[in-house]
A = this chain, B = another copy of it.
């Protein structure tokens, strides 16, 4: 494994990153063709946080958080740390002291395929973290990993500078080069949805708004009057 720290990365334009963060994971995931979602075990430590930022990647070794400190220096305001471990563990690789340091540097959140601790304090600080586990189990600083190289995190590859969108529904990664295109698709989707939301809230049915009835019939859906009819119905 290469033990390197890459100092400079390309980031998507600030307004693109911001727009993706506002669109949220569900919309962004749809807008980029249903790709890029991290495994659903990645959960926020408190609910209600929603962020978008550029990924600074960190590869740590099991039970060792040394690289987190190296990564902090290489971040810019608006970045999000995305950390993975060379083999799976639940250790708490990140706590309130590192969060103070992140905050001072303008880092807006952490996504880690591992554990986090001091979650009570982090919640009070409103420093959002998405992680696989919460654990008070600490770490050592003995083995060198890497910063800003492509990493595998919770089932997806993350390239430094990719856009990270995270909220209560999970975490989605947008490739830097596709970011602008995805923003456009997300906006289009949001516009479409806004109109539908009004119609649905007024009691109109999705069956009619999306004109589903003919296709359901064609695919074989049969309406029956009651369960008694169902019992005697043979497909």
Residues of chain A at the chain B interface (Cβ within 8 Å) = 1-10, 24-26, 28-30, 33-35, 37, 39-40, 43, 46-48, 50, 61-63, 66, 69-70, 72-73, 86-92, 95-98, 100-101, 103-105, 115, 117-120, 123, 133-138, 140-144, 148-149, 152, 155-157, 159-160, 167-170, 172, 193, 196-197, 200-207, 210, 212, 216, 219-227, 229-230, 233, 235
Contact = CB atoms under 8 A, between A and B. Distances in A.
A97 B6 contact: no
Contacts of A123: 47-48, 168
A197 B97 contact: yes
Nearest to A196: B97
Contacts of A172: 136
18 contacts: A1-B33, A3-B219, A4-B221, A6-B224, A29-B138, A30-B138, A47-B119, A61-B140, A63-B87, A70-B221, A73-B207, A87-B89, A101-B201, A104-B204, A117-B169, A134-B170, A144-B219, A148-B230
Contact of A4 (B170, B205, B230): B230
Nearest to A74: B223
A40 B134 contact: yes
Copies in the complex: 6
A33 to B, nearest CB: 5
A106 to B, nearest CB: 9
Nearest to A219: B144
A205 B40 contact: no
Given A7-B226, A87-B90, A205-B101, A37 B2 contact: no
Given A4-B221, A6-B230, 5 more contacts: A5-B224, A24-B120, A26-B117, A134-B170, A135-B169
Given A46-B47, A200-B104, A235 B142 contact: no
A5 B143 CA distance: 23
Interface centre among A7, A39, A88, A196 (most CB of B within 10 A): A88
A99 to B, nearest CB: 9
Contacts of A167: 120
